[in-house]
Structure 1
Amino acid sequence: MGPEAVFWTLVLGLICIAEAGMMGDQCDWNGSGLTSSTERAVTPVYLRCREGSVSWLYPRGALRLLFKPPLPADERDFRVCVRVIRRPDPPDFFQNIQLNESGAPERFPARIFVEGVRRLVPLYAPDDGDVRELRCFRSRHGQAALYVEAEPEEGTKRRVAFFRYEARPLVRRHYDPATADCRPCSDSELEMAFCTSDLVSRGMMVGSEQREDLDTTQLTWRLTKLVRATAAHDAGDLADDDEYYRYEIDNSIEQTSRRPHKRTRVRKTRGLHAHVHVPRACGAAAGAGEFFLMARRRLGKYSLVCAPRLHDWKTLVERRNAEGTAHCFLQH
């Protein structure tokens, strides 16, 4: 079936089928194809955030995803990137590489099309021969929509079409800590990155690997002092939902209960590592020395924001804290 035929099949399904499933109007959407009474049903989903996820259990019929991210009044168009998840992401932090391995990828049970003018443009298909999990497209006249069409059912096997998305303005007029590029950060950008990043740590690069599936270079860091790590999840034996972290020097981690009625528990783990990604076009590689690492979670992975050498960062911290002009209290 060609893209045009698919388009009109979906449109007719949306018009003619009264039961089109639940509608979403949020950052994340979770739904099930079992709520649809027909394989031609189309579920409209409205995504009004800059980033989020879509999880479609037992996909059946199709979804129409309309992206409406919050943008400044004078910025109309934007770019959307979708990362198809075919296997669970490994833990954020690990002691050795073996603990950071994920299982074999599974077939993604849906095809994704960008809605164009009277036609659908293929964006992702399980058998399109492209190994990239990450696919991007641009809005048109301030509008962006995807059709996610379920593949034919295969018996009663449990299937989940899960992907993450990110929508960003086409032009960056101000510093945006959620995006990384190849140039060094200015002093003001370093300060903002420290205050807003999801991962802040001292570290040494111990390896690099090209990730064709993500179109990035994956840098492996040995963390020597982990200052802050937010939004961590699925961290194996290093975390659970009831804990927060206070990190100490010498690559150790202390875990302390935040609930007053629970007994304080302290556990130290040596040899903590993390993966941080940079665009493959930057040509990054492992370098000698200690750096001050600042990264933000993007599409489920840590993405590099700034990484000055430690002695340069210390100089900036001492000067800004002495002046009292920093956006937040800086540390090293």
Structure 2
Amino acid sequence: MRAPTLALLLPLLCLCRVSFCQYSSDQCSWRGSGLTHEGHARDVEQVYLRCSQGSLDWLYPTGAIIVNLRPNTVSPAFARLSVCIKPSTNSRGTNIYLDLNGKLRLLLREEQQTLGKVQCFNIQEGALFIEAVAHLDISRRITSFQYELVNGRLGPDGHSLDGPCQPCSNPAMLLAVCTSDFVARGSIKKVEQEEEHSSVTVEISHLYRQKTKVFVSGGVRVRSWNGHIKMPLQCGVKSGEGEFLFTGTVRFGEAWMGCAPRYKDFLKLYHEAQQQGTNPCHMDTD
């Protein structure tokens, strides 16, 4: 039997090295170990993630990895995509940079990651370059974060740059019913000013849709839901009487307010658009 030639062995060796280093990966999340870089501290591995949300866990980081975040499809709205990452509060062992054509810009230092604060940037600002910080003991070092791709221009703190405190136009209100992560009718019970945002406590009488369970049922016999919706602190939101139609986005399991007209005003607008045939989608208003 002929011995395998070097030309046949080389691809197999390369495949084994990649498989060993990137030992758990899919289109959305990646989990790897820096121990495979031991003795190769200058190694840089490429990681490709192609989902709208997922996670990364890098155990015992050594060397560096480049994380390329891309949606499954490229559309004209690609330039308006923002990437948000939320480090775990026990994330440590690396500094995180943005890498644009070889030029690095610091995004998060090792000690900043433990705060668990959301950090956002435009997808065209580059890939994530995650570099291990030299430590004598790497046994307790794990870099871990969740990520989400968000349609729209966001500031570093995750707040919209498209006039987050401006009242929605009539077309925007109608479109919000079709495209929001949650749509609910209810009332404002309390507004609390927290360190970086306002938290609006709401009671929901009619839940049309929610992407994740940001509103919790009040019980089998009580047809109502309760929850909290966040808003930028600078918007100065206050409690108001009557019913509102709450719409918005869900980021890392938290609801953020979008358009929130008074329900009676929305109902009038919706019926007028219905008569004119200009509604972008149907909504049960009974």
Common topology (TM > 0.5): yes
- The answer for the alignment partner of 1:11 in structure 2 is none
8 A contact 1:198–1:230 mirrored in 2: yes
- The answer for the alignment partner of 2:3 in structure 1 is none
Deviation at 1:290, TM superposition (A): 1.6
Deviation at 1:305, TM superposition (A): 1.7
- Which residue identity does 2:208 align to in structure 1? V
8 A contact 2:183–2:247 mirrored in 1: yes
TM norm structure 1: 0.62
Q: Which of residues 249, 252, 256 is equivalent to 1:296? A: 249
Q: Which of residues 168, 185, 188 is equivalent to 2:168? A: 185
Deviation at 1:306, TM superposition (A): 0.8
- The answer for the alignment partner of 1:225 in structure 2 is 206
- The answer for the alignment partner of 1:54 in structure 2 is 55
Is the alpha carbon distance of 1:46 and 1:129 closer, same or farther for their aligned partners in structure 2, counting shifts above 3 Å?
A: closer
- The answer for the alignment partner of 1:147 in structure 2 is 129
- The answer for the alignment partner of 1:44 in structure 2 is 46
Question: CA separation in 2, counterparts of 1:302 and 1:30?
Answer: 26
Q: 2:242 aligns to what SS in structure 1?
A: coil
Deviation at 1:292, TM superposition (A): 0.8
Match runs of 1:233-252 below 5 Å: none
For the pair 1:274 / 2:275, whether they are aligned, the reply is no
- The answer for the alignment partner of 2:179 in structure 1 is 196
Q: 1:306 aligns to what SS in structure 2?
A: coil
- The answer for the alignment partner of 2:96 in structure 1 is 112
Deviation at 1:309, TM superposition (A): 0.4
Match runs of 1:115-126 below 5 Å: 115-116=99-100, 119-126=103-110
Question: CA separation in 2, counterparts of 1:148 and 1:272?
Answer: 41
Is the alpha carbon distance of 1:46 and 1:32 closer, same or farther for their aligned partners in structure 2, counting shifts above 3 Å?
A: closer
Q: Which runs of 5+ in 1 are unaligned?
A: 1-17, 87-104, 172-176, 239-250, 254-266
Question: CA separation in 2, counterparts of 1:199 and 1:281?
Answer: 23
- Which residue identity does 1:145 align to in structure 2? A
8 A contact 2:91–2:144 mirrored in 1: no
Q: Which runs of 5+ in 2 are unaligned?
A: 1-15, 155-159
Q: 2:165 aligns to what SS in structure 1?
A: coil
For the pair 1:208 / 2:191, whether they are aligned, the reply is yes
8 A contact 2:45–2:66 mirrored in 1: yes
- The answer for the alignment partner of 1:166 in structure 2 is 149
Question: CA separation in 1, counterparts of 2:114 and 2:138?
Answer: 27
8 A contact 2:181–2:248 mirrored in 1: yes
Question: CA separation in 1, counterparts of 2:82 and 2:192?
Answer: 25
Q: 1:127 aligns to what SS in structure 2?
A: helix
Question: CA separation in 1, counterparts of 2:284 and 2:148?
Answer: 32
Deviation at 1:302, TM superposition (A): 1.6
Question: CA separation in 2, counterparts of 1:313 and 1:182?
Answer: 18
Is the alpha carbon distance of 1:271 and 1:111 closer, same or farther for their aligned partners in structure 2, counting shifts above 3 Å?
A: farther
Q: How many aligned residue pairs are there? A: 256
1:284-328 CA-partner distances (Å, limit 9, x unpaired): 233332211112223432222210001101212333334443222
Is the alpha carbon distance of 1:155 and 1:83 closer, same or farther for their aligned partners in structure 2, counting shifts above 3 Å?
A: closer
Give the structure with the larger helix fraction.
2
- The answer for the alignment partner of 1:83 in structure 2 is 85
8 A contact 1:71–1:169 mirrored in 2: no
For the pair 1:316 / 2:269, whether they are aligned, the reply is yes
TM norm structure 2: 0.70
- The answer for the alignment partner of 2:31 in structure 1 is 31
Percentage of matched positions with identical amino acids: 23
Q: 1:288 aligns to what SS in structure 2?
A: coil
1:22-57 CA-partner distances (Å, limit 9, x unpaired): 39684x2221317735273433122445x3232215
8 A contact 2:180–2:248 mirrored in 1: yes
- Which residue identity does 2:249 align to in structure 1? R
Deviation at 1:147, TM superposition (A): 1.5
Q: Which structure carries more relative contact order (alpha carbon 8 Å, separation 6+)?
A: 1
8 A contact 2:31–2:58 mirrored in 1: yes
Question: CA separation in 2, counterparts of 1:113 and 1:64?
Answer: 9
Larger radius of gyration: 2
Deviation at 1:159, TM superposition (A): 4.6
